Structure 1
Amino acid sequence: MSDLWDDLENFARAPSSSTAAPGERGTIKAKANFNVSEDVAALRKAIEGIGTTEKTLIDILTHRSSSQKQAISKAYLETTNRILVNDLKGDTQGSLEDLLVALARPPAVNDAKWLIEAIKGAGTDNNILIEILASRTNKQIKELSAAYAEETKKTLIQKLKTEVSGDFGKAILLLAEGARDESTNVNADKAREDAKALYHAGEKKLGTDESKFIEILCKRSIPHLRQTILEYKNISGKTLQKSIEKEISGDLEELLVAIVKCVMSTPAYFAEKVYKSMKGAGTDETTLTRVMVSRGEIDMLDIRAEFKKLYQNSLFKEISSDVSGNYGDCLNVICGGED
């Protein structure tokens, strides 16, 4: 698996989803001739009738863009005086319920809810913090932070300060600020300097200067980091990921590796996540739901392509053989087809 991440030339030229227009590489798209009152009527009938017709819920929630679904939720509230998400919760259950509810909510609200879930109770689920904060753009982080504050009446940063500490905490807080450099110009000399600085902070040094890794990987622009990763390989003879895995451990290692993977190819990072959620005994349905919903409108087509490259099997087939019933059907509609 790490061979994929070693294949630097391949990713350095890979299209970056951050450059695609919104919705271009997603499978969940806006419906043409969208009629909000028709949708509300169909949803009401599916929910209020005897026994829920899940097929209708799945069909509508997977074939409307996020903004169309917000229009539906608003009209639903106006006509029924009820909240669509709450009705979906009352009417379905288990993984299907989680999936449909997530499809009905705005992306920023989903991210905020997943972070609330990750942080609440004893101990924090750092995997979810890492996945969301390493993969989202500044704009997405600003939006999820606003949604978080609305839900909890606290800022995400305030809350995180009480939850994470040490170098891992520093890195997470930097990412949560959503202040990564966004310039698209790459200065090869500066990238080489950063690559050298990373080499001297890790491989070349007794002990590791984690703060250097944190500063460069959490603040620099994505195009700059792509170039830095290539330069690093030239200087040290090994990949930056391999060096991080050797020099750093624990949650900080996981986080920095996730950032490096997202810099190289966010779709490949999520293809690997989806694969891991299904392989072995039992399926990690919460991760599967989170990834499929959060990427459905963004880069699912690219995730499918990477999945096929990595695992010689289509994501569609993998889902079909791993999950069944309405939950599996709904995931396959989000997946969007066979490759």
Structure 2
Amino acid sequence: MADLWEELQSVANSMPSSNTAAPGARGTIKAIASFNVSEDVAALRKAIEGIGTTEKTLIEILTHRSSSQKQAISKAYQETTKRILVNDLKSDTQGNFERVLVALTRPPAVNDAKWLIKAMKGAGTDDSILIEILSSRTNKQIKELSAAYSEETKKTLIQNLKSEVSGHFGKAILLLAEGARDESTNVNADQAKVDAKALYQAGEKRLGTDESKFIEILCKRSIPHLRQTILEYKNISGKTLQKSIEKEMSGNLEELLVAIVKCVMSTPAYFAEKLYKSMKGAGTDEITLTRVMVSRGEIDMLDIRAEFKKLYQSSLHKEINSDVSGNYSDCLKMICGGED
């Protein structure tokens, strides 16, 4: 896998970034042109209220409408039935199938907020979920999920994170949670060289590591600037930045900084790797599988599929098909959108 990221490193400067594509242009879940809210509400009611649930209808509608169309459906559903669509789905379906349908129905920001709430619930924090969400979302997405988080918990995301995370990892997570990454698109090659050198001197070049320098650069600079910095770093140190981080850091800080570097080089490849790991080996991590499929369905699933095929010589569709079954599998394959 490290070789994959080494390879990506060499094409990083020519990689299109999903962050720069028009929103939704690379997704598999798109707005339907002939959208008719009342027809959809009637079809969903029939599927849910009839004897036995018509799962096919639920899958068909919820994987073929954009998020804003689904919000319109949920609103109309509530006006017509005086019930909440998400609650009806919960009482009518179960397990992983229920989870994926509910997530498809909710706005993306609400999903992100709920996943973060769950990650911080109870004893201990699930750092890997904080890392995945906060390292891969744009400023706009972070602002939206923060608003949804406050709405759900009556506290701010930053307030709650402060009591959950600490040390260098905590500092980096809090910076990302502010959603204040530089968003300029012009790259100053000289500044990228300066940053690459600063990273080299904060890590490889000295005894002990100056973590705060890594955090400041990786959590604040723009994505195009970081892409250039990663290339410059290789020129200066002969190693990839990812390799250096893995050598210099450990634990959740290492995991977070590596995730940022991977997302800078290719967010779709980062998620392709996540999906592969969720299905690899004994047992499937359905929670991660569902979260990634739903959260990327409308954003960059086409690119994730392409990266998956390139990395694992097998299509994402085929892996899902052989790894999970039933309605849950059918729903994920719809989100996947096709065989490569």
Query: TM-score category by the smaller chain?
Result: over 0.9
Distance (whole Å) between structure 2 residues aligned to residue 23 and residue 111 of structure 1: 17
Structure 1 equivalent of residue 319 of structure 2: 318
How many residues of Structure 1 are paired with residues of Structure 2 in the alignment? 339
Other-structure match for 1:215: 216
Residue correspondence of structure 1 range 56-67 to structure 2 within 5 A: 56-67=57-68
Letter in 2 for 1:175: L
Q: Is 1:50 paired with 2:66?
A: no
Write out aligned runs for 1:4-83 (5 A). 4-7=4-7, 8-83=9-84
Distance in 2, Cα, partners of 1:103 & 1:208: 43
Counterpart position of 1:114: 115
1:224-244 per-residue CA deviation (whole Å, 9 max, x = no partner) reads 000000000000000000000
Matches of 2:11 and 2:219, distance apart in 1: 23
1:255 positional shift: 0.1
Which whole-Å deviations, capped at 9, do the CAs of 1:35-79 have from their partners, x for residues lacking one? Answer: 000000000011111111111000000000000000000000000
Question: 1:3: which partner in 2?
Answer: 3
Name the counterpart of 1:139.
Answer: 140
Per the alignment, residue 98 of structure 2 pairs with 97
1:260 equivalent to 2:270? Answer no
CA distance in 2, matches of 1:23, 1:255: 26
Query: Where does residue 303 of structure 2 map in the other structure?
Result: 302
Number of the residue aligned with 2:124? 123
| Equivalence for 2:174 | 173
**Quick one: distance in 2 between partners of 1:264 and 1:303?**
13
Shift of 1:4: 1.1
Q: What's the offset of the Cα at 1:293?
A: 0.2
Gaps of 5+ in 2: none
Deviations 1:317-337 (A, max 9, x none): 111111110000100000000
Equivalent AA in structure 2 for residue 332 of structure 1: K
Residue aligning to 1:183: 184
After the TM superposition, which segments of 4 or more aligned residues of structure 1 sit over 4 Å from their partners?
none
Deviates more, 1:4-13 or 1:96-105: 4-13
User: Hey, what does 1:203 align to over in structure 2?
Assistant: 204
Q: In structure 2, the residue corresponding to 1:182 is in which secondary structure?
A: coil
In the alignment, the residues of structure 2 paired with residue 114 and residue 49 of structure 1 have an alpha-carbon distance, to the nearest angstrom, of: 32
User: Which amino acid in structure 1 is aligned with residue 225 of structure 2?
Assistant: H
- Taking the aligned partners of 1:94 and 1:243, their CA distance within structure 2 comes to 41
CA distance in 2, matches of 1:107, 1:44: 23
Percent of aligned pairs sharing the same letter: 86
Provide the rounded CA distance (Å) in 1 between the counterparts of 2:279 and 2:186.
Answer: 39
Q: CA offsets per residue over residues 108-139 of structure 1, 9 Å max, x none?
A: 00000000000000000000000000000000
In the alignment, which residue of structure 1 is the partner of 2:251? 250
TM-score scaled by structure 1? 1.00
2 CA distance for matches of 1:86 and 1:213?
44
In structure 2, give the amino acid aligned to 1:241. Answer: Q
Q: Distance in 2 between matches of 1:239 and 1:23?
A: 31
Q: Distance between the aligned counterparts of 1:12 and 1:40, measured in 2? A: 46
Name the SS for the 1:185 alignment partner.
coil
TM-score by length of 2: 0.99
Rounded to whole Å, the distance in 2 between the matches of 1:154 and 1:87 is 28
Residue 12 of structure 1 and its aligned partner are, at CA, apart by 2.2
SS at 1:181 equivalent: coil
Structure 1 unaligned spans of 5+: none
1:22 Cα deviation from its structure 2 partner? 1.1
Separation in 1, partners of 2:12, 2:253: 23
